[in-house]
Structure 1
C-alpha cells in the first residue's frame, strides 16, 4: 500500500491544527478563569532613618543588609555638646528656682515688716490720742488761768507732732503693703522664667537622648550612607529599614481587566528570582486613580491628536504569610500575577468605593 505524495504534509498540518485547537481551548478556558499581568512589582513600606539633631557621627553600629529591631540603636552622634547644653540649662533652671525662693523669702519678710508697721501705726495712734487729750485738758486750764500759755503751746505742738507721726506710720504701712503686692507679680514673672528654664532642660535632655539614632521599625538595613565622622543634619537620610516580612505586590492591570477583579480573590505570584515556585496572595485594595495620574507630569489628553491607550490601575495584593517564600520577597522585584476571577469574594472594582461614598453622603446629611 502506497501513501499519497501529500500525506506527510497533510498529516503535519492536521497535527498542527489539532495542537492549535487544543492549545487555543486551554488558553480560552484559562482566560475565562484568570486575569493576569507581568506588570507587577514587589513593594514594602520602607522607612528612612534620619537624625533629629545635628552633629558629628561618633559610631555606626550596623552594617549593610543587617537585620535590626524596632528601637535598636543604629548610630550615635557625639553627645559632648549636648551634655554641656544640658548642664547649662540645669544650672540656669536652678538659679531661677533659687530666685523664686528668694522672692518667697522677701514676701515673708514683707509680711513681718507689715506687722511691724501696723504695730507702729497703732502706737502712733495711741500717742496721738494721748496728745489730743493733753491738749484739751491744758487748753481748759489755760483759759481759767491755772497754767501758763507756754504750757498750752507745748501741748498743742505735741498733739501736732503725734498726728504727723500717725500719718507717717500709716504711709509706711501702705508702702510695705504695696511692696508686698509688687512681690506677687515679681514672683509670677520669676516662676514663669523658671518654668521656661525647666522646659529648656527637658528639651536639652531630649536632644541628648536623640544623639542615639534608633531604628523606627524592624527590618533589614539598606542604602546605608552614614559613616563615622560624618556631619549630619536633621532630616538627612542615613539609611533605610525595609520590613521584608511585610512586603506586598502592586500589579498594574489594564482598565479592560479590572471589571472582573474583586477584593479577596486568590492570586498566584511567580517571580523570576524563585524560578517556577509559586507564592499565594489575595487582592487587598484598588488604587484611587490610574498610575498616570500620579506621574510628575500627568498626560494632557485635551491637546493634539488623541489616541486611546488602555490605562493601568494599580492593585494592591497582600502576600499570604504562610507562603514559604513570603519573607524572601525583596522590594523592586518584578513578578507575574494571576488572579482567579471565578472566586466570588468581596466587592468588585465598581463596588469597592460605593460603601465609602454612601457613608460620606450619610455623614454629610447628619451634619447641620
Structure 2
C-alpha cells in the first residue's frame, strides 16, 4: 500500500483536529472549574458608611458652610441653626438660677433662725423651715440643669462633622427649617471604604480572614490590593416566611431542576489605592482571592 501525500495531509489534519479538540476541552474544563470553584467574583461593590446628620435643636437654618461633594474634616462646621431663641433660652435659664439661689439663701437663713429658737417655737415650725430649705436646694439643682441644657443647645446650634467625610446629595439651603432628630444631609465616611464581594457558597471554603485579595474596579486598569476581613454571618432566606397561625417557620417547596449556589457577602478591606482612582460607594468591582495563599491555607 502506497502512502501518498494526500493520506499524509489527511492524517495530519485528523491529528491536528484531535489536538485542538483536546486543548479546547481542557480550556473549557479549566474555565468551568475557575468560574465554579475558584475564589473569584465579578459581583462586587464598593461600600462605605453613610452618616445621616440631623440637628439636635429645632430652628431655622441660619447659614450653610459646605457645598455638594465637598470634602470635610472631623469637627468642621457644616451648618448653623438660628441662635436668637437659644440665646434667649440661656438668658432665661441664668435668671432662673439666680432666682433659685436667692430663694435658697432666704430659706436657709429662715431655717437657721428657727433652729436657734428651740424651746420658743414648735418643732413642727422648725421642720417646715428645714423642708423649705431642702426644696429650695432641689429647685436650684433643677435650674442649674436647665441652664446647662440651654448651654448645650446653644453649642449644638453649630452642627459639626463627626467624621472625615464627603458631603453627598446635598440640597440644604439657608432659611430651611431643621427639626431636631430629623436628618437633613448625609456624609460618606472617607475612612470607611471597603469592598463587598458576593461569592458563591461553593467558593467559601477557600476564603479565610486575612487572605489577600485583588480588586479591579469597572473602567479601571490598575488593581487595588486588599485582604479578607470576614464573611457575613447570615443572609435572608427568600423562600422562608412566618405563618400567621403557627410559631413554626413556613418554607415554600422548591422544584427547580438546577440548584443555584447562594451568594454570601464577604467584606474586603482595602489596603492600597493607586493614584488617580476615585472610590465611589456603589461602584462595581471584580474580586479575586489570592489562589496561592488560599491553597496554602487549605493545605494547612
Q: Does the TM-score normalized on the shorter chain lie above 0.5?
A: yes
**Residue in structure 2 matching 1:278, options 198, 223, 232:** 223
Distance 2:52 2:12 in 1: 67
Displacement of 1:246 in angstroms is 2.9
Quick check: 1:263–1:346 contact (8 Å CA) kept in 2?
A: no
How has the CA–CA distance of structure 1 residues 8 and 281 changed in structure 2, closer, same or farther, with 3 Å as cutoff? same
Q: Larger helix proportion, structure 1 or 2? A: 1
Displacement of 1:89 in angstroms is 1.1
**Residue in structure 2 matching 1:70, options 71, 74, 98:** 74
Displacement of 1:108 in angstroms is 3.6
Q: Partner residue of 1:339?
A: 289
How has the CA–CA distance of structure 1 residues 326 and 343 changed in structure 2, closer, same or farther, with 3 Å as cutoff? farther
For the pair 1:217 / 2:167, whether they are aligned, the reply is no
TM-score, normalising length: structure 2: 0.82
Displacement of 1:313 in angstroms is 0.7
Displacement of 1:174 in angstroms is 3.6
Tell me, which stretches of 5 or more residues in structure 2 are unaligned?
A: 242-249
Any idea what SS the aligned residue of 1:74 has?
Answer: strand
**Residue in structure 2 matching 1:87, options 91, 99, 110:** 91
For the pair 1:289 / 2:289, whether they are aligned, the reply is no
Q: Partner residue of 1:61?
A: 65
Displacement of 1:18 in angstroms is 6.9
Quick check: 1:221–1:242 contact (8 Å CA) kept in 2?
A: yes
Quick check: 2:240–2:251 contact (8 Å CA) kept in 1?
A: no
Q: Partner residue of 1:261?
A: 207
Quick check: 2:36–2:202 contact (8 Å CA) kept in 1?
A: no
Displacement of 1:317 in angstroms is 0.5
Deviations 1:10-60 (A, max 9, x none): 698578547636745764786799411111101011211111111100101
**Residue in structure 2 matching 1:227, options 146, 170, 173:** 173
Displacement of 1:331 in angstroms is 0.8
Any idea what SS the aligned residue of 1:185 has?
Answer: helix
For the pair 1:323 / 2:268, whether they are aligned, the reply is no
Equivalent pairs counted in the alignment come to 284
Tell me, which stretches of 5 or more residues in structure 1 are unaligned?
A: 119-169, 349-368
Distance 1:316 1:331 in 2: 14
Any idea what SS the aligned residue of 2:219 has?
Answer: helix
What root-mean-square deviation, in Å, do the aligned CA atoms of Structure 1 and Structure 2 show? 3.2
Any idea what SS the aligned residue of 1:324 has?
Answer: coil
